């Protein structure tokens, strides 16, 4: 076992372990667990949770694969030592939770399962957001779809400007007291919004938040300006999504070339606005550096995120099994500090842009500023 304490006080363990499974509880034959794997685990914020340094994300996975493929991919992740899985009720209007629930059936022990609520799931008024009315219904439906009686980490997918925060967080505290939820987190929140909840929790005796999920990659570094410092100061786990910037950092999009058929940028045309000359200059640099190491651009992009001590765990995702496989090699890849610094330098300009997925109220309607 190799233990490393980083400059920010977080403990990182690189272990040769068997994959997480029911046998960790002492049940079953340990010979059935599977082959020994190498993985890193970290402390998850101000909690007792230990999570894998990579989190398996279910955002797009349900769309293009069969149920058998989806289940096999989750099982492979577990075999690789991944014990942290993130989904949301809004992924495929619940289908992401359904598929993950089927895959984790019989393998729930030892797994840290995270999901979210906020998006419109019901047709009636109040069928979205962070009201008590919506959250109480949403958590019951998530438990049913995930085929579990508790959720390890329950997150608000976005802030809800139409609901008093006292109502929202008193409801989440109730869920913890009921045993349906064990820990609380939020996604796409400003640092001050998390601070507001921590203050309310301390004042009212409510369960505090332990994590914040935000977008972070070489082309979106805005959280470095404030969020990173806040999370370090208050020991909030920083869980990041979009390490490949919607596929832009995989190398599939070329300067002056047509958008590949079936790609994410074809499905979401507004994202094509991100393909500027500045972005292509960065892609050229990333591609050249990845070539020198003999690895993929996708691996280098995620390895850059992992290299940041302030990031607790990035979420890896994809729409096909082969999108996940290169990520399991990351712990055997070493990138020189000088090259990490070079990537920092050429992408510095991307620290200064709009914070992603923060809801806005316009004419009484809520919209998200995303691309």
Cβ–Cβ < 8 Å for 230, 198: no
Q: Among 44, 61, 91, 328, which one carries the catalytic annotation? A: 91
Helices 297-306 & 277-293 angle (0-180, nearest 10): 90
Q: Is the four-CA dihedral 231, 84, 67, 216 of positive or negative sign?
A: positive
Beta partners for residue 4, in sequence order: 12
Rounded-to-integer distance, Cα 114 and Cα 240, Å: 13
Cβ–Cβ < 8 Å for 58, 86: yes
Beta partners for residue 368, in sequence order: 359
Q: What is the DSSP letter of 217?
A: B
Helices and strands, number each (H, E), in the chain: 11, 14
Cβ–Cβ < 8 Å for 236, 210: yes
Give CA separation, 66 vs 59, 61, 261, 319, in Å.
Answer: 15, 10, 21, 11
Clarify whether 61 is annotated catalytic: no
Q: Is the four-CA dihedral 149, 163, 156, 273 of positive or negative sign?
A: positive
Give CA separation, 55 vs 26, 88, 92, 112, in Å.
Answer: 25, 14, 19, 9
Catalytic machinery residues: 91
């Amino acid at each position: 076992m190799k233990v490393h304490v980083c400059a920010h006080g977080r403990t990182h363990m690189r272990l040769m372990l068997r994959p997480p499974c029911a046998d960790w509880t002492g049940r079953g034959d340990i010979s059935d667990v599977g082959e020994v794997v190498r993985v890193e685990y970290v402390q998850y914020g101000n909690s007792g949770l230990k999570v894998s340094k990579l989190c398996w994300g279910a955002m797009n996975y349900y769309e293009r694969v069969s149920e058998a493929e989806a289940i096999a991919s989750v099982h492979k992740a577990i075999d690789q030592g991944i014990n942290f899985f993130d989904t949301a009720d809004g992924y495929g209007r619940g289908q992401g939770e359904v598929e993950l629930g089927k895959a984790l059936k019989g393998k729930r022990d030892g797994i840290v399962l995270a999901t979210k609520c906020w998006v419109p799931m019901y047709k009636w008024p109040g069928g979205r957001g962070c009201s008590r009315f919506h959250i109480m219904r949403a958590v019951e439906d998530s438990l049913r779809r995930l085929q579990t009686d508790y959720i390890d980490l329950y997150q608000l997918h976005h802030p809800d400007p139409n609901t008093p925060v006292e109502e929202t967080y008193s409801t989440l505290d109730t869920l913890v007291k009921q045993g349906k939820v064990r820990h609380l987190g939020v996604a796409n929140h400003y640092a001050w919004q998390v601070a507001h909840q921590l203050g309310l929790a301390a004042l009212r005796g409510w369960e505090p938040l332990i994590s914040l999920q935000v977008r972070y990659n070489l082309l979106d570094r805005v959280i470095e300006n404030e969020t990173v410092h806040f999370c370090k100061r208050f020991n909030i786990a920083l869980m990041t999504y979009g390490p490949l910037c919607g596929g832009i950092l995989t190398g599939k999009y070329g300067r002056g070339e047509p958008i590949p058929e079936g790609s994410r940028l074809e499905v979401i045309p507004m994202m094509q606005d991100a393909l500027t000359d500045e972005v292509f200059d960065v892609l050229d640099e990333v591609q050249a550096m990845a070539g020198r190491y003999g690895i993929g651009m996708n691996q280098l992009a995620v390895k850059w995120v992992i290299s940041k001590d302030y990031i607790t765990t990035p979420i890896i995702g994809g729409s096909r099994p082969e999108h996940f496989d290169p990520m399991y090699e990351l712990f055997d890849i070493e990138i020189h500090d000088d090259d990490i610094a070079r990537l920092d330098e050429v992408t510095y300009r991307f620290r200064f842009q709009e914070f992603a997925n923060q809801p806005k109220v316009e004419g009484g309607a809520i919209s998200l500023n995303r691309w």
